[in-house]
Amino acid sequence: MIPCKVQRVGIHCHRDLHRRNHWRRDKHCPVDLRGASGGDSDAGGGLTALAQGATTVFASSGGVTGSTSVTVTARMLTITSISPAGGTAGTQVSISGLGFGNTQGTGKVWLGTAPGTVVSWSDTQVIAMSQDPTFRLIGSEKIWDRGAALPSRLHWFETEVLSQDENLKGLSRINRDLLAKAEAVDSLQRVVLDMDSTEIPVYGEQEQSAYNGHFESTCYHPLMLFNGAGDCLAAKLRPGNVHSAEDSEEVLLPEIERQQELGKEVVFRAAAALAKPQIYETLEERGVKYAIRLPANDSLLRDIEELLTRRVGRPGHKPIVWYKGFLYQAASWKTARRVVAEVEFHAGELFPRVGFIVTNLETPSRAVVRFYNKGGTAEQWIKEGKQAVKMTRLSCHRFRSNEVRLGLSMLAYNLGNLWRRLALPKRIENWSLTSLQQRLVKTGGRLVKHARYYWLLLAEGHLKRRRFGAMLRSIAMLPVPAA
C-alpha cells in the first residue's frame, strides 16, 4: 500500500491554433495517462506516470480531488515508446509499455492540453487519436448551453479569432501545406505559375474598398497565384483602387523560392497588367522563364508592318495566323528582350487581331503563343472560386476580417480542386466545381444505425454506387505523405 497525496500532474504537449493544429512531444513534454490502471486498481483509480526516463510516479484516485490523502494499490506503469512523436489533428498515437490495465475503465489519454479519443486499450498498448483544437474551441461542452454551432459563434470565430495576426498567417500555412502534400503525389519537375487579379464588388462601407475605373465599380482588387493544375497557391486582398501589379512580388517571390529549393524549374506567365520591367528583371535574376502579354504600341506595330497586310483574294473561313519573333527594347528597359508577335486574319473582319508577348523562352514563336494562351484557364479558376465557394462574400466591415474570408474561400476551393484532380473518375474529372457541388455533394441520404454498424443510404442520381466506390478507391490509393 502506497500512501500518497493527490495532486494534479501536468504533463502537457504543445498544441495551439497558431501552429497549424499540430501537437508534438519532446523530453519536457510527454503524454499524460490519467487513470491508466484501468479496472485493475483496487481503489478504482489509476496511475499517472511520466514518460520513459522519469524517476517519479504519482498515484491518483478516480473520485478524489484537492489534497486528500488516500491509499491505493499501485502498479508500476512503464512507457517504452510513443509513436509518432508529432502530427496533425486526427493522427493516431500508439503508446506502448506495461501496466496500463486490460480494460480502459476510467482511464484517459491527454495529448497536450486536449483529451485524446481512445481507439484501443490493452495492458501493453494504448492507441489514441488527437482531436482538432479548432472544433474543440467552437463546440466545447462548456459553451453548449450558449449554442456552440450558432451562426453568431461561427461568425465570432471567423472574424475575431482567425483575424489575429498569427492565426491569419497560420491559415495561409495550412493552405500551402495542403498543396505541398498534393505536389508530393504529382512530383513534377517543371512548375507553371499563373498570376491574375480580379474584381470583387462590395455594396457597403467596407474598409479600403474603393472605386476602380477599369471595372467601373466599388470593389476589392485581390491578386491570386495558381499553378498549372489549378491550385490556388496564394491570394492577397488589396484595396479596390490599386494597380494590378501592386504587391505582385510579395505574392510571387516566396513561391518561386520554395519551388527552386525543391530543385524544380519555374515558368511564369501573366496578362498585360503585369508587364513591368521590375518584374522582368526580378524573374531574370532568379533564372525564371516567363511569358507575359505586352500592350501594343506604334514601335511594336512598325516591327511587324509586313504582316499586317491582308492577302489578295477571297478569305477562307479558317483564320490565317502569322508569327514573328524579334528583339525589342522599350525606353524604360535596361536591355533588349525577345518579343513574339501573333497576327490573325478572321473572315468577316476588316482589321487583323494582333498580340505581343515578351519572353525569355527559347522555344519557337508558335510554341510560345500556345504556352501563353493556356494561361487563360486562370480566369476560369477564379470564376469557379466566385461561383462554387462564394469567394465574393466579403461583406465584413473590417478589412482584416475580409482577408480571413478570402483565405477560407481559397482553402475550400483547393479542397474541391484536389478532390477533382486526385479522386474523381476519368469520365467526370473535367467537371466544374459548381457541377460537382450540385450533382455529387448535394445528394440526399439517410443514415441507418444498427447495433454493430451503420448503413449510409445515398440517393442514386449522378452519384451512383460504382462512381462513389471509384472515388473511395482513388482516395485509398493516394500515398501517405511524410509527417
Alpha helices in 158-199 (DSSP H): 165-186
Q: What is the pLDDT of residue 75?
A: 55
Q: What is the pLDDT of residue 378?
A: 87
The Cα 162–Cα 156 span in angstroms is: 9
Q: What is the pLDDT of residue 110?
A: 79
The Cα 171–Cα 224 span in angstroms is: 16
Q: What is the pLDDT of residue 45?
A: 33
Estimate to the nearest angstrom the gap between the alpha carbon of 411 and the chain centroid.
5
The Cα 300–Cα 433 span in angstroms is: 40
pLDDT tens for the 483 residues of the chain, in order: 323 322 223 333 333 333 334 444 443 344 455 444 444 433 333 333 333 333 333 333 333 333 333 333 445 678 888 888 777 667 888 888 888 888 888 788 877 767 788 888 888 898 888 776 666 666 555 655 555 556 777 777 788 888 888 889 989 999 998 898 888 887 788 999 999 999 999 988 899 999 999 999 999 999 999 998 899 999 999 999 999 999 999 999 999 999 999 899 999 999 999 999 999 999 999 999 999 999 999 999 999 999 998 877 777 788 899 999 999 999 999 999 999 999 999 888 888 999 999 999 999 999 999 999 988 788 889 999 999 998 998 989 999 999 999 999 999 999 999 999 888 988 888 899 998 888 888 888 888 998 888 888 888 778 888 888 889 898 888 876 554
Q: Which residue type, as a one-letter code, is found at position 55? A: T
Q: Which residue type, as a one-letter code, is found at position 150? A: L
**Contact present, 85 and 24 (Cβ < 8 Å):** yes
Q: Which residue type, as a one-letter code, is found at position 228? A: G
- Domain residue spans of the chain: 2-135, 154-417
Give bridge partners of residue 95 from the DSSP assignment.
Answer: 82, 126
Helix crossing, 248-261 with 277-285: angle to 10°? 20
State in words which class domain 154-417 has: alpha beta
Q: What is the pLDDT of residue 135?
A: 64
The Cα 277–Cα 280 span in angstroms is: 5
Could you please report the per-residue DSSP string of 211-275?
EETTTTEEEE--EEEEETTS-EEEEE---TTS-TTTTHHHHHHHHHHHHHHTT-EEEEEE-GGG-
Contacts of 403 (CB under 8 A, 6+ apart): 163, 168, 237
Give bridge partners of residue 48 from the DSSP assignment.
Answer: 58
Dihedral of CA atoms 51, 57, 59, 62 in degrees, nearest 10, equals 0
Q: Which residue type, as a one-letter code, is found at position 259? A: Q
**Contact present, 366 and 391 (Cβ < 8 Å):** no
The Cα 159–Cα 172 span in angstroms is: 16
**Contact present, 218 and 233 (Cβ < 8 Å):** no
Helix (H) or strand (E) holding 94: strand 92-98
What pTM did the predictor assign?
Answer: 0.71
Helix (H) or strand (E) holding 379: helix 377-388
Helix crossing, 465-477 with 399-423: angle to 10°? 100
Could you please report the per-residue DSSP string of 275-313?
--HHHHHHHHHTT-EEEEEE---HHHHHHTGGGSSPPSS
